[in-house]
Structure 1
Amino acid sequence: MIRRLIDVVGPEQARPVRRMIVALVVGAVLQGIAFALLVPVLEALFGSDPDEVWPWLWALLGVSVLYGAAYYWSLLIGFEAGATLSRSLHHRIGDRVAALPLGWFAPERVGQLGQLATKSVMDIMGVPAHLLRPLVTSFVTPVTVIALMYVFDWRLALAATLTVPLIVLVYRWSTGLSRLADVARSAAHAETGGRVVEFAQVQPVLRVFGRGPVRSGARLDDALRTQTDASRRVLVTGVPGLVGFVLVIQAAFTLILLTGTYLALDGGLGVAKLLALLVLAVRFTEPIAETAVLGSTLRTAGAALDRVAELLAQPTLPRSEDPKVPDGNAVRFEDVSFGYDGKPVLSGVSLTLGEGTMTALVGPSGSGKTTVSKLVPRFWDVDSGVVRVGGVDVRDIDPEVLMSRISVVFQDVYLFQGTILENIRVGRPTATDAEVREAARLARVEEIVHRLSDGWDAQVGEGGALLSGGERQRVSIARAILKNAPIVLLDEATASLDPENEQAVQDALSALTAGRTLLVIAHRLQTVAAADQILFLDEGRITEHGSHDELIAAGGRYASFWAERSRARDWSLTGQVF
């Protein structure tokens, strides 16, 4: 566990942990020496000249003082190590999550990440605070005691040594019994966490469709029952191991007791020395017995370390050892193929987004339009082919340099819990208030601010829940405007806006096209028709490309698409009131 702990916190933050381990080992050795000094103390007290006890008592007092100093030192280092662990683990988890490809973020990861960043981190923080001391003591102190027993009587020391392999064997057996059950329990906890989040998020949908508390919570109830069953299995499988480990510890002490009694009856060992050595034998078995009580906690902490280590071992998108700087801001796809979990989405896609031009990507749902927009900022690596920005393969560009050139507004907008002003400033944290408000004005966020009592300081809620879908979209567009990147990717950016605000935002976005590369995924007719070029994507392939007039004249799929959208625009609802 100690090695895994050091691996998880990383070499930079491992120093306080190592210092604490050194302090604990020193303290455990001193504790073992203090226990061993009880032998000559008791032997002198029960001997013919009790005054001989004083040198041993002074020695015992000196060792006890040193032990107290080591104990105090380890406590101070333990607090430092705990704080370091919390900070280091959250940073390492956050850095790893930020570097993982988006394909890793499946829906079930929500509960797993939530448990990882909260409960698992707290479990690991408990290692230096509560577990390292008894863990080190349970091994180092008995070893010290056995070593010093050889000084006083090698026969009893040998009897104690012979019990060690059996103790280790039973300990491994007892921990192995519960290991698989612990894994199942951890998975059940993660599943339950995800179901709780899901149950809270979909309340509007459940209530609109008349799903009462009993029916709507069925999946959550199933997850809770699974969690309960998993916890019960941990208890059932753990009890036999716990009982077996305690029994073998008692058997070890009994063997030492019988050996000592035999030697005393045979006349080879004095009674006073026997009593002192039996006290030492108790101090040999007692620390080991404490590990039985800590067994469940140790397994929990070990499982938490395994989960964090597994996350930190997840492969990130590789970085080029010799990164190149793009020359310009044109985007090219060269025979690109890509799929999710082996299911192909794009096949042989080649396209060019000219610098300073606007390209509209059109096609039926599921044709791969959003995937194209996510391959440009390298959220995934392509399966084959090349995506280039400024003539350079995106895999050869430093990720920070690549992302500094790209602003993205996706269809599904997420806002961070905070104020409207803070959420816009995410686009460029160094921007002045005047620059933030100008971007907000262009995206028509000012209208939202004026309607809210707290103005710019109005809270948006978790994920932007306190704003409407269109309002969240406008805040997201304001971010992109504020970032002022040379490449802009818009995935249905105006889908949630009313016609008046759509026109205002479209005018603001049009101002960005000068000297910029603009990719728009949209179904709105005005947006599509204004593009310099239109690419029609169908079943993962570019089947048509050209200007709006050229594609209409060609009479292909795009022309049908345009005709359908034109008819839909003229639809109206009629009804009769009785």
Structure 2
Amino acid sequence: MTSPCSIFRNIPQQIVGSLIQPFYASIILFIIDWRLALAAIIGVPLFWAITIWTDRIYQRVFADLHRARSEATAVMLQQARGAAVLRGNPDSKVARRYDTAMRGLAAASIAMSVKGTPASAIGAIVVESGQVLLIAVGAALYLGGSVSAATLLIFLFLSLTFYQPIQELSGLAGYRLNQQQIAAKIGEVWDAQTLSEPAQPASPSGTTIEFDQVRFGCGEETTLHEVSFRAQAGELTALVGKSGAGKTIIASLVARLWDVDSGAIRIDGADVRDLGSASVTSLVTAVFQDVYLFDDTVRANLALGRPDATDAEIWDALVAAQCDDVVAALPEGLDTVLTEGGSDLSGGQRQRLSIARALLKNSPILILDEAVAAVDPGTEDRIQAALSTLLAGRTVIVIAHRLSAIANADRIVVVDRGTVVGSGGHDSLLLTCDEYRVLAAVQGLEPNQNRSNNAFEKVDQR
């Protein structure tokens, strides 16, 4: 795959050189003999006209080529992530997307060559025609005695410094348009709206979280509609609902990964936009279902939120997260370098490491997004024990699909299609909220049912 840096390298310098050198060369040629100079440059206007035409052709074919490259790259990455599934289903429709994307890329590459090469060739012929005309005119003037053989020979040599850069400029047309396509992609990133930063960040003393008529959308699609609820300081608030209801987006907005389109999210009465990114980052820690570990040491991965943490503090966090035995068994302990994504550890081990990371950061607000999903019962027990320590004394927002795991939460907020449709305790929601009643019925939960298997019980620290 071509690196953008290699494409950008020296191209501006070459373009400038290809413009300046013919300009100076033409001045010298006119000084030597204006008749020969006119013969030399007579093809330049036609060359520029063809260059403009060539640019239009290249602009179309390079746009198609970049689109095909993007689609092929996206499919390739998707298939690499799902290689294990596709290996067992090689004839599936999803597996055939790769062949389709590659054929599209090949077709776009061929179209670029078929449409672009003839245009470039015509431009080169036009430039060369000027040199042919120069030789013909020079020969006629020499035979007529108007110029000497020495003058004609010098003129022919100097004309090379005029034609060669123009030919290089013709060859750079494709590269220049390729640059423009890449620059446009980079521009889309740079032009993306950034989070505003307050001149004087507010300093909340509490951790009560309030959503006030929040609307949020991705592109033209509105994902959240007038979402309002309150998560009291020191309490556990659970978000439940069907997949795609908007729960993860709500949690991400608390961490200010994005700003709301309208309404407000407040922490202790202060809008998160008035707190500043640094303050929100220090207040909020998230533990997600899909844990990502970097290609670095265990110590570096755990100390992301507290770079100055001592080894003793790291080990204390590991003990509390039920993960000290995992790290102790690694070849170099805390200095063991993990593979990218932590693929050399099990899902439960990665999850407990992320809990240790959250414990070490020690933020007063905690977001748990399906933190105990997709693990075996034995691992889930250890994660639940670690979570009990992590939740103590914090304001917690939990996202969970298993209602039995959050039935004892201080408040349960039911989300459906980007809207809050119910809020309260488990038993009251069974009586007042149709959506929650459907979720509970599917999972076999009833009012006053024994809910001892609660993943989110706080440790009493009194």
TM-score, structure 1 normalization: 0.70
1:518 aligns with 2:396: yes
Residue matched to 1:397: 275
CA distance in 2, matches of 1:195, 1:223: 7
Unpaired runs of 5+ residues, structure 1, are 1-114, 571-578
Match of 2:459 in 1: none
CA distance in 2, matches of 1:121, 1:483: 37
Please say if residues 123 and 304 of structure 1, whose CA atoms lie closer than 8 Å, have aligned partners that are also in contact.
Answer: no
Shift of 1:132: 4.5
Could you tell me which amino acid in structure 2 is paired with residue 248 of structure 1? V
Q: In the alignment, what sits opposite 1:121?
A: 5
Hey, what's the Cα distance between the residues in 1 that align with 2:17 and 2:437?
78
Shift of 1:495: 1.8
Q: 2:156 aligns with which of 251, 273, 278?
A: 278
User: How much does 1:325 deviate?
Assistant: 1.8
Q: Is the 8 A contact 2:351 2:383 kept in 1?
A: no
1:495-535 deviation digits (Å, cap 9, x = unpaired): 23444544444444344445532111123456413322222
Q: Which of 28, 31, 46 is residue 151 of structure 1 equivalent to?
A: 31
Q: Deviations over 1:109-134 (max 9, x none)?
A: xxxxxx6xx6223322xx22xx4554
Task: Tell me the distance in 2 between the aligned counterparts of 1:549 and 1:226.
Answer: 56
- Return the offset for 1:351: 1.1
1:408 to partner: Cα distance: 0.7
8 Å contact kept, 1:317–1:381: no
CA separation of 1:141 and 1:484: change in aligned 2, threshold 3 A: same
1:556 to partner: Cα distance: 5.7
Contact 2:255/2:285 (8 A) holds in 1:
no
The 5-angstrom pairing of residues 484-523 of structure 1 reads 484-513=362-391, 515-523=393-401
Which one-letter code corresponds to 1:152 in the other structure?
I
Q: CA, structure 1 residues 321+162, in 2 after alignment: closer, same or farther (shift >3 Å)?
A: farther
Distance 1:243 1:509, change over 3 A: same
Q: Report the residue type matching 2:401 in the other structure.
A: H
Structure 1, residues 361-410: CA drift from partner, whole Å, max 9, x if none? Answer: 22233322112101112223223211122322223332222222210112
Residue 322 of structure 1 is matched in structure 2 by 199
Alpha-carbon offset, residue 183 of structure 1: 2.0
The answer to whether 1:379 aligns with 2:253 is no
Q: Which residue of 2 aligns with 1:232?
A: 110
Give how far 1:230 is off: 1.0
Residue of structure 2 in register with 1:13 after alignment: none
- Considering only aligned residues, what root-mean-square deviation do their CA atoms show, in Å? 3.0
Query: 1:555 Cα deviation (Å)?
Result: 7.7
Say whether the 8 Å CA contact 1:174–1:240 is kept in structure 2: no
Amino acid at match of 2:82: V
Amino acid at match of 1:148: I
Distance of aligned partners of 1:253 and 1:532 in 2 relative to their CA distance in 1, 3 Å threshold: same
Using a 3 Å threshold, how does the CA distance of structure 1 residues 218 and 408 change in structure 2: closer, same or farther? same
Out of 174, 179, 188, the residue aligned to residue 68 of structure 2 is 188
After superposition, residues 284-363 of structure 1 pair within 5 angstroms as 284-313=162-191, 315-320=192-197, 322-328=199-205, 329-363=207-241
Report Cα offsets for 1:424-483 as digits up to 9, x if no partner.
222322222222222222222224335555544555433232333222222222222221
Does 1:483 find its partner at 2:361? yes
Residues 337 and 300 (structure 1), Cα distance of their counterparts in 2 relative to 1, 3 Å cut: closer
Structure 1 residues 554 and 165, CA gap change in structure 2 (3 angstroms): closer
Q: Does 1:430 align with 2:430?
A: no
User: Match of 2:3, as an amino acid?
Assistant: K
The whole-number CA distance in structure 1 between the counterparts of 2:111 and 2:156 is: 39
State the AA in 1 paired with 2:394: R
Letter in 2 for 1:143: F
1:545 counterpart = 2:423: yes
- Corresponding position: 1:445 with 2:319: no
Note the 1:158-177 alignment, pairs <5 A. Answer: 158-177=38-57
Deviation at 1:319, TM superposition (A): 1.0
1:346–1:541: 8 Å Cα contact kept in structure 2?
A: yes
Structure 2 CA distance, aligned partners of 1:166 and 1:195?
A: 43
Amino acid at match of 1:169: A
Letter in 2 for 1:536: V
Q: Does 1:466 align with 2:350?
A: no
Q: For the residues of structure 1 that align with 2:174 and 2:436, how far apart are their CA atoms? A: 63
For residue 4 of structure 1, what is the aligned residue in structure 2?
Answer: none
Which region of structure 1 is more displaced relative to structure 2, 244-253 or 301-310? Answer: 301-310
- Structure 2: stretches of 5+ with no match in the other structure: 451-462
Residue in structure 2 matched with residue 34 of structure 1 by the alignment: none
What is the aligned partner in structure 1 of residue 458 from structure 2? Answer: none
Aligned to 2:286: 408
What one-letter code is carried by the residue in structure 1 that aligns with 2:78?
A: E
Q: Which amino acid in structure 1 is aligned with residue 20 of structure 2?
A: V
For the 8 Å contact 1:324–1:392, the answer to whether it is kept is no
Matches of 2:221 and 2:175, distance apart in 1: 42
For residues 63-116 of structure 1, give each alpha carbon's deviation from its aligned partner in whole angstroms, at most 9, with x where no partner exists: xxxxxxxxxxxxxxxxxxxxxxxxxxxxxxxxxxxxxxxxxxxxxxxxxxxx6x
SS of alignment partner, residue 324 of structure 1: coil
